[in-house]
Structure 1
C-alpha cells in the first residue's frame, strides 16, 4: 500500500497518491504551453517511479493551453496512466477538455467530468 502522504509539487501543479489513484491538480491561473506540459509530465513520471495508476487530473486551474501542449499531453501525458479522468468546471475547462478529447485523442481511456465522485467512480474501474 502506498502512503497517503506521498506527494510532489512544482511551479504549475501538485500531485499525490491516494487509495491507488494519482491525483494531479493544476494550480490556479495556469497557462500551459509546450514547455510547461513537458515539465509537469517529466515531474509526474519521476514521481510515479515506473508505477502505473489511474489518474484524476483536475484542470480547473488552467486558464489557457496551446495546441502544442494539448498534443504533447494527449500522447506523452498518458505515460504510466491506466486511465485519465479530467475534472473541470462547466465553462472554459469543459471547452478545452472536449477539444482535447476530440482533436488530440489521448492514448489511454480518458473521460471528462464535472462531478468529482463520478470521476472517482470511473477511475475505480481501473484499480
Structure 2
C-alpha cells in the first residue's frame, strides 16, 4: 500500500494507522472537487477502514454541495475523524458532520497532537 499521495487539493499520508489528509493553502472546494478528493481517498485506502486526521487549515471556501457530499458519501471507510483548524469555516464544516448523525466519532481540534491522541485508540482498533 502507498504511504503518500497528493492531488491539487490535498495530500494523503498513512502514518501509524492514521490517515492524514492535509488540504493545501487557499483551496476552494466545489462538488466536483469533493468527489475527486473522496474518490482518491477511497482508492488510497484500498478498502481498509482508518481513523482520519483532516487538517483543513488551508481551506478557504467549500460549497454547500461539496459539504453535503463529504457528509454523506465522504464518510465511507472512516471509523473516527479529527478536524484540525482554527478558523470559523472549520467550525461550520465540523457541525455539518456532527449534525448528520455520523456513524463514527468526530471532534474538532486546534492542534495535531490532541487530534492524534483522540485518534490513537481507533487506529489500534482498525489494525485488529
**TM-score normalised by L of structure 2:** 0.87
Look up the match of 1:115.
111
Q: Distance in 1 between matches of 2:42 and 2:121?
A: 22
Alpha-carbon distance, 1:101 to partner:
3.7
Structure 1 stretches of 4+ with a deviation exceeding 6 A read none
What value does the CA root-mean-square deviation take over the aligned residues?
1.7
The unaligned stretches of length 5 or more in structure 2 are 124-128
1:42 alignment partner, one of 39, 42, 53: 39
Q: Distance in 1 between matches of 2:69 and 2:44?
A: 19
Contact 2:56 2:90 in 1 (8 A): no
Say whether residues 1:86 and 2:83 are aligned partners.
yes
Q: Distance in 1 between matches of 2:47 and 2:97?
A: 25
Say whether residues 1:32 and 2:37 are aligned partners.
no
Q: Secondary structure at the match of 2:37?
A: helix
TM-aligned CA distance change 1:102 to 1:53, over 3 Å:
closer
Look up the match of 1:16.
13
Contact 1:60 1:93 in 2 (8 A): no
**TM-score normalised by L of structure 1:** 0.87
